[in-house]
Structure 1
Amino acid sequence: MRHLKTTVHPDIEHLDDKTVFQRKAARAIVVEGENILLLYTERYHDYTIPGGGLDEGEDVIAGMVRELQEETGARNIHSIKPFGIYEEFRPWYKDDADVMHMTSYCYSCKIDAQLGETAYEDYEVKNGMKPVWVNIHDAIAHNEKTIAESPKKGMSIERETYLLHLIAKEML
């Protein structure tokens, strides 16, 4: 799979003598015309691509399918194709490591138009997460406004907005 980008949090000057926690994630790109299936999160006021961390030993595509079903209620997921890998190095604030290296495996796919039931985790419910079909250009503009105005923004919204720009350029 092609490498899209690697980002390093500004607080990480080097990895020498650092303990690095490896996290793998899978993300699902579902486009229909100029609309894209995204997750809107009320707490962060942003749009994100469905996906998340893989369970220990979980196949990447199986994890992408699981995350897409849980977060959006997507059904009949098919025509799965590799899109690219996005890497991030971020500070890790737990005792087992200093830095998290997250590798996101992104795939495009198709689904049935009608969404089923979601299966959110508690924190996703508390954050006000919900699946929405939105015009990709509107989502990009929204995220860029949030990046410019929100003190809560982090590396995630920057990743998502970068990916949305690339998807708009290559898939529309």
Structure 2
Amino acid sequence: MRHLKTTVHPDIEHLDNQTVYKRNAARAIVVDGEDILMLYTERYHDYSIPGGGLDDGEDVIAGMVRELEEETGAQNIHSIKPFGIFEEFRPWYKDDADVIHMISYCYTCKINRELGETNYEDYEIKNGMKPVWINIHDAIAHNERTIAESDKKGMSIERETFLLQLVAKEML
């Protein structure tokens, strides 16, 4: 799979003598015309691509399908194709490491337009997460405004906006 980008959070000056926690994730890019299936998160006031961390020993595509079903209620997931890998190093908030090295395996796929029931984790419910179909250009503009103006933004918004821009350029 092609490498899309590697980013290092500005708070990380170096990795020398840092404990790094590696986390693999899978993300699902679902486009229908100019609409894209996104997760709107009220807490961070942003749009993100469905996906998340893989369980130990979990196959990447199986994890992508699981996350897509849990977070959006997607049904009839098919035509799965590799899109690219996005790597990031950012501060880690748990005691077991200083830095997280997140490797996101991104895939495109098709689903039924109508979504079923979601199965959110507690923190996703508390963060106000919900699946939405949105025009990709509107999602990009919204995230760019959040980056520029909001103190609520999370650490993943730069990744999400980069991926949205690349999807718009390559798939529309």
**TM-score relative to the length of structure 2:** 0.98
Contact 2:30/2:37, CA 8 A, preserved across alignment: yes
Q: How far apart in 2 are the matches of 1:73 and 1:62?
A: 15
Q: 24-33 or 149-158, which moves further after superposition?
A: 149-158
Q: Structure 1 regions of 5+ residues with no counterpart?
A: none
Q: Which moved more, 1:64-73 or 1:150-159?
A: 150-159
Between the aligned partners of 2:93 and 2:124, the Cα distance in structure 1 is 20
Q: Deviations over 1:111-130 (max 9, x none)?
A: 01111100001111111111
**How many residues align structurally?**
172
Cα distance in structure 2, aligned partners of 1:57 and 1:99: 22
Instruction: Give me the whole-angstrom Cα distance separating, in 2, the residues matched to 1:57 and 1:130.
Output: 28
TM-score, structure 1 length as denominator? 0.98
Q: Distance in 2 between the 1:40 and 1:69 partners? A: 16
Which residue in 1 is equivalent to 2:49?
A: 49
The percentage of counterpart residues that share the same residue type is 84
- How far apart are 1:92 and its partner, in Å? 1.3
In structure 1, how many angstroms separate the alpha carbons of the residues matched to 2:145 and 2:169?
20
Is the counterpart of residue 99 in structure 1 residue 128 in structure 2?
no
**d(CA) in 2 for partners of 1:45 and 1:155?**
12
Deviations 1:77-128 (A, max 9, x none): 0000000000000111222111110000000000011111000011111111
CA distance in 2 between counterparts of 1:42 and 1:155 reads 14
Equivalent residue, structure 2, for 1:10? 10
Q: Which residue of 1 aligns with 2:74?
A: 74
| Equivalent runs, 1:30-45 vs 2, <5 Å | 30-45=30-45
- Other structure's SS at 2:159 match: helix
Give the unaligned 5+ runs of structure 2: none
Partners of 2:158 and 2:165 in 1: CA distance? 11
Q: Kindly report structure 1 stretches of 4+ aligned residues shifted beyond 6 Å.
A: none
CA–CA separation in structure 2 for the residues paired with 1:82 and 1:32: 17
Distance in 2, Cα, partners of 1:113 & 1:152 = 30
